[in-house]
Chains A and B, each alone.
Chain A
Amino acid sequence: MTDKFDYDLLIIGSGPGGYVAAIRAAQLGLKTGCIESRDTLGGTCLNVGCIPSKAMLHASELYHEAHSGALEKFGVKLTGAKLDLKQMLAEKLKAVSELTGGIEMLFKKNKVDWIKGHGAFEDAHTVKVGDKSYTAKNVMIATGSSVTPLPGVEIDNSKHVVVDSTGALELPKVPGHMVVIGGGVIGLELGSVWLRLGAKVTVVEYLDQILPGMDGSIRKDAARMFKKQGFDIKTGTKVTGCTVKGKKATLTMEPAKGGDSETMEADVVLVAIGRKPNIDGLALENSGVKTNERGQIEVGHDFQTDVPGVYAIGDVTPGPMLAHKAEDEGIAAAEFVAGQQGIINHDLIPGVVYTHPEIASIGKTEEEVKESGTEYKVGKFVFAANSRAKTNRDTEGYVKVIADAKTDRVLGCHIISSLAGTMIAQVTQAMEFGATSEDIAYTCHAHPTHSEAIKEAAMAVQGKPIHM
């Protein structure tokens, strides 16, 4: 297959989409190369995204439990629990380097060539890295995304004052006041980290509610819980400017609907208003691939762009910017390149916010179902009635199951719970099989577990939960 090309498949980017595609392609017998400009593999997710943020979320939660006296009611008395931020950051880096090293090993094992440097198209089948050109029968763009800049707010991670998510993962000290611009997943997660470590955290959101795109009641109840934890949440507010003087920033903001502007001082400003596809420097024009008005690369069902032999997956394509979406697209795209049938169901991509409690979501929100005109039923079950959650003194949140009123098919599920991110997989799998709420209700769940709340919520769809 590689007669006149260096590679069967050359992937630009080694994030969760790119590296997974590379390994699957190699498994399928394709000669595969993967271009990465970072010093380590894994892209944003492993280096400065999902993985380090979860490391910090976990560590900061442990600190908070030890420090806040939350363990005392369990008979665990701790005095003098102290924060060693340097150690916390070091442990995070260790987790990151173990995981990125793991990919390097997997590349070696599967004989994927790691080509170090920045890739730029020369034509649809040639990519230049440094001063060397590589040819490939198929090229896959998996360059991911980066932080969307906010006009008037200049990010400089090295100064540790106005930072993006990358900068917020390596602050050398706990800020007195952190202002998070953007009440989405990233802002709330990283805000949680520093809140637990002792910062006062203000979240400024342009829209009326935090967590845009998620189920309405979940958004409302999550906001209530975050406020209880100490978050100051200013919704319907627009940041219009930011000046930095030394180690302090002054933000100007005004109501989104218009009105008097106000200023706010901050030690750290985290810009987390969204992410945009990474297209710059790719010399996409040489490949013939075009982007849409949002700067995304449109692809067909086989992830091929309008240019035959050029594929794109993950954050550079339309859809939610999620590592697991990119991974599954990577596998499917690699299978298509290898002449097989790839498969991914874009209607069932779970979304998780790794705060405490976690917020997880699959399928349609109640608002989406309502808008579609489908008659539906909602079953809700609170963790205050779940025995395990009660035992653990961990009763915040609930499970909400939305099912078609006629067919009983589950249309969506939304969970707030300390274990929501893990629990949502069950519902996702059930929905992949077209399950009805009754299917879930008649599936045996181990007792006592948080997962029983899913079963009870499914029973509640028919109006008959046992424990409520």
Chain B
Amino acid sequence: MAIEVKVPVLGESITEATLGEWLKQPGDAVAVDEPIASLETDKVALEVPAPQAGVLGAHQVEVGDTVEVGAVIATIEAGSGAASAAKSAPAPEKAAAKSDETDASITLSPSVRRLVLEHGVDPSQITGTGKDGRLTKADVEQYVKSGAQNSQQAPLAEKGGATGAQTPPAPSSAGNRNEERVRMTRLRQTVARRLKEAQDTAALLTTFNDVDMTAVIETRSKYKDLFAKKHGVKLGFMGFFVKAACMALKDVPSVNAQIDGEEIVYHDYADISVAVSAPTGLVVPVIRNAETMSFADVENTIGDFGKRAKDGTLTMADMKGGTFTISNGGVFGSLMSTPIINPPQSAVLGLHRIDQRPVVMPDGSIEARPMMYLALSYDHRLIDGREAVTFLVRIKEAIEDPARLLIDL
């Protein structure tokens, strides 16, 4: 009996993924739950496990294909590996052929389908100008002409001759000059699309301030050992900023709100998205109800996110939602930046590197203080300048005098 291997449910509102890699080939013996393929969704990569032990049949989709939740990507024939391995070997060609004909996920009109197959381009990479964003023949022709194909098209381009002329002649140079074309991962595509969306939709504006980190640094060095001993996690700067942000969000609710159509949605909770480095890029998991958390909870949660980002075990659910984002470019040495909001959120706080800078103190003396620039990018449609500045000042005050966090000032 052949069992179908289907694309698993990827999380709320995620309906499709890209087949990233086949981990098993047709004819390979697989154990139950052994990963046979990896999928990339908008935010995470995940593996498709074998639903039963047996021999993998033909791949029914190819690497780079878009697959919908529930789509069959392969079949598994129960039985011993070696025997049927040879039998199923010629199958993949036929299966691949079939997928040429109809791609269930994207509807292409016949002439477009022909052109896409002819040039071997990925229709999901092309912007459609037809009804409901459908691809027209002209869209594909334009795309092919602009040379936006991925690297696997190289042989075709050579054959065509004419298409070879798509890159302008390179100025002569003695050195070795190679270009590499790499297809954007789904993650990258989504990041690109969403960032551009944010810029196109929101009235983005950034306000700056600077903060004296002396108090936080002192508190940290004073209590770091005790904190680590009691809570099993290092006391970092993020705990202070998350807590300060929660307090400021409560005071300036519009920063924690978002636009939905013609309405504004206010949140009485603070779900803080924090950017975490992962091997595949930056991911942004969410600290839920951060306003109710202790410093230790916050640090623990962030630590856990970092670990899981490295393992690739962050789920869609971990990244969904979020009412406000904190992005720390300081860890990479950034002096100053204007972050882009993470829609539908309305604001993002950018942290930067801490430098010793000369500061004129209230008594007129000049001291070297550990200073950090803060940036708050916000959607001016929803947040007034006064509110944005107030919000940032509230953070500055809390960081410069952490006791305020305790007494809610």
Interface of A with B (CB < 8 Å)? Answer: 300-302, 340-347, 409, 432-434, 439
Chain A residues, Cβ within 8 Å of B98: 301
* Interface contact A343-B114, CB-CB below 8 Å: yes
- CB atoms of A343 and B93 under 8 A apart: no
Bound Cα distance A300, B101 (Å):
11
Are A300 and B107 in touch, CB under 8 angstroms? no
**Cβ–Cβ < 8 Å partners of A439 in chain B:** 131
List the B side residues contacting A301 at CB < 8 Å.
94, 96-98, 100-101
Complex Cα distance, B101 from A302, in Å, reads 10
Do B102 and A347 touch (CB < 8 A)?
yes
**Given the complex of chains A and B, what is the CA–CA distance between A346 and B99 in angstroms?**
12
Q: Which residues of B contact A341 (CB under 8 A)?
A: 114, 117-118
Q: Which residue of A lies closest to B90 (CB)?
A: A306
**B81-101 contact mask (Cβ, 8 Å, vs A): 1 or 0:** 000000000000110111011
**CB distance A343 to B97 under 8 Å?**
no
Q: Is the CB of A346 within 8 A of B101?
A: yes
For residue B133, give the distance in angstroms from its CB to the closest CB of chain A. 12
Taking CB as reference atom, which chain B residue is nearest A433? B109
Q: B118: which A residues are within 8 A, CB to CB?
A: 340-341
Q: Are B113 and A343 in contact (CB under 8 A)?
A: yes
Please, which residues of chain B bring their CB within 8 A of the CB of A434?
107-109, 134
List, in ascending order, chain B residues with CB within 8 A of A346's CB: 101-102
B11 within 8 A of A: no
Q: Whole-angstrom distance between the alpha carbons of A434 and B117 in the complex?
A: 18
Shortest distance from the beta carbon of A178 to any chain B beta carbon, whole Å:
41
Least distance between B12 CB and chain A CB atoms (Å): 16
Taken together as a complex, chains A and B put the C-alpha atoms of A104 and B117 apart, in Å, by 34
Complex formed: what's the CA distance from A297 to B392 in Å? Answer: 74
Question: Are A344 and B101 in touch, CB under 8 angstroms?
Answer: yes
Beyond the given pairs A345-B113, A347-B101, 16 more chain A to chain B contacts, judged by CB atoms under 8 angstroms and listed by A's residue number, are A300-B94, A300-B97, A301-B94, A301-B96, A301-B101, A302-B97, A341-B117, A341-B118, A342-B114, A343-B114, A345-B101, A432-B110, A433-B107, A433-B109, A434-B109, A439-B131
Q: Give the shortest distance, in Å, between B292 (CB) and chain A (any CB).
A: 38
Cβ of B131: which chain A residues have Cβ within 8 Å of it?
A: 439
CA distance A346 to B113 in the complex (A): 14
Closest chain B CB from A391 CB (angstroms): 33
A344 vs B101: C-alpha distance when bound (angstroms): 7
Contact A345–B100 (Cβ < 8 Å):
no
Closest CB-CB distance, A344 to chain B, in whole Å?
Answer: 7
Cα A300 to Cα B117 in complex, Å, equals 15
Given contacts A301-B100, A433-B134, A434-B134, contact A343 B94 (CB under 8 A): no
**Chain A nearest Cβ from B2, distance in angstroms:** 17
* Interface of A (DSSP majority class): loop
List 20 A-B residue pairs with CB atoms under 8 Å apart, sorted by A's residue number.
A300-B93, A300-B94, A300-B97, A301-B94, A301-B96, A301-B98, A301-B100, A301-B101, A340-B118, A341-B114, A341-B118, A342-B114, A343-B117, A345-B110, A432-B109, A433-B107, A433-B109, A434-B107, A434-B108, A434-B134
> With the chains together, A416 CA to B300 CA distance in Å?
68
- Interface centre among B98, B107, B109, by most A CB within 10 Å? B107
The residues of B that contact A409 with a CB separation of less than 8 Å are 107
The interface residues of chain B lying within 8 Å CB-to-CB of A432 are 109-110
Mark contacts of B101-125 with chain A using CB atoms, 8 A cut-off: 1 yes-contact digit, 0 otherwise: 1100001111001100110000000
B112 and chain A: residue at smallest CB distance: A433
B141: shortest Cβ distance to chain A, in Å?
A: 14
- In the complex formed, the residue of B with least CB distance to A343 is B114
Closest B residue by C-beta to A439: B131
Q: Chain B residues near A300: list those with CB within 8 A.
A: 93-94, 97
Q: Cβ of A347: which chain B residues have Cβ within 8 Å of it?
A: 101-102
Cross-interface CB contact of B110 among A302, A340, A343, cutoff 8 Å: A343
- Is A345 a contact partner of B102 (Cβ separation < 8 A)? yes
Taking CB atoms, residues of chain A closer than 8 Å to B97 are: 300-302
Could you tell me the distance between the alpha carbons of A432 and B114 in the complex, rounded to whole angstroms?
A: 12
CB distance from B16 to the nearest CB of A (A): 13
Contacts of B93 in A (CB 8 A): 300
Closest to A373 in B: B70
User: How far does the alpha carbon of A433 sit from the alpha carbon of B112 in the complex, in Å?
Assistant: 10
Minimum CB–CB distance from B57 to chain A (whole Å) comes to: 17
Complex Cα distance, B118 from A439, in Å, reads 28
| Chain B: minimal CB distance from A7 (Å) | 24
Q: B130's closest neighbor in chain A, by CB?
A: A433
Please report the C-alpha to C-alpha distance between residue A340 and residue B156 in the assembled complex, in whole angstroms: 12
Q: B100 contacts which chain A residues (CB < 8 A)? A: 301
**A340 surroundings in chain B (CB, below 8 A):** 118
A433 to B135, CA, bound (A): 10
**Chain B residue nearest in CB terms to A434:** B107
Task: Report the minimum CB–CB distance from A437 to chain B (whole Å).
Answer: 14
Expressed in whole angstroms, the minimum distance between the Cβ of A45 and any Cβ of chain B is 23
Residues of A within 8 A of B110 (CB): 343, 345, 432
Question: Whole-angstrom distance between the alpha carbons of A201 and B352 in the complex?
Answer: 90
Closest B-chain residue to A435, C-beta based?
A: B107
- Taken together as a complex, chains A and B put the C-alpha atoms of A254 and B399 apart, in Å, by 94
CB nearest to A335 among chain B residues: B114
Chain A hits for B117, CB < 8 A: 341, 343
Q: Top 3 closest A-B pairs, CB basis?
A: A434-B107, A301-B97, A341-B118
Q: Which single residue of chain A is at the shortest CB-CB distance from B131? A: A439
B333 CB → nearest A CB, Å: 48
Question: Considering residues B96, B101, B102, B108, which has the most beta carbons from chain A within 10 angstroms of its beta carbon?
Answer: B101
Give Cα A19–Cα B100 distance, bound, in whole angstroms: 25
Q: Which chain B residues lie closer than 8 Å to A343 at the CB level?
A: 101, 110, 113-114, 117
Complex Cα–Cα for A344 and B108 (A): 12
Closest residue of A by beta carbon distance from B110: A432
Residues of chain A within 8 A of B108, CB atoms compared: 434
CA distance A301 to B93 in the complex (A): 9
**Chain A nearest Cβ from B140, distance in angstroms:** 12
CA distance A302 to B117 in the complex (A): 12
Min C-beta distance of A426 to chain B, whole Å: 15
Nearest CB of chain B from residue A300's CB, rounded to whole Å: 5
Complex Cα spacing A433 to B97, Å: 21
Closest B residue to A407 using CB positions: B107
Chain B residue nearest to A298 in the complex (CB): B94
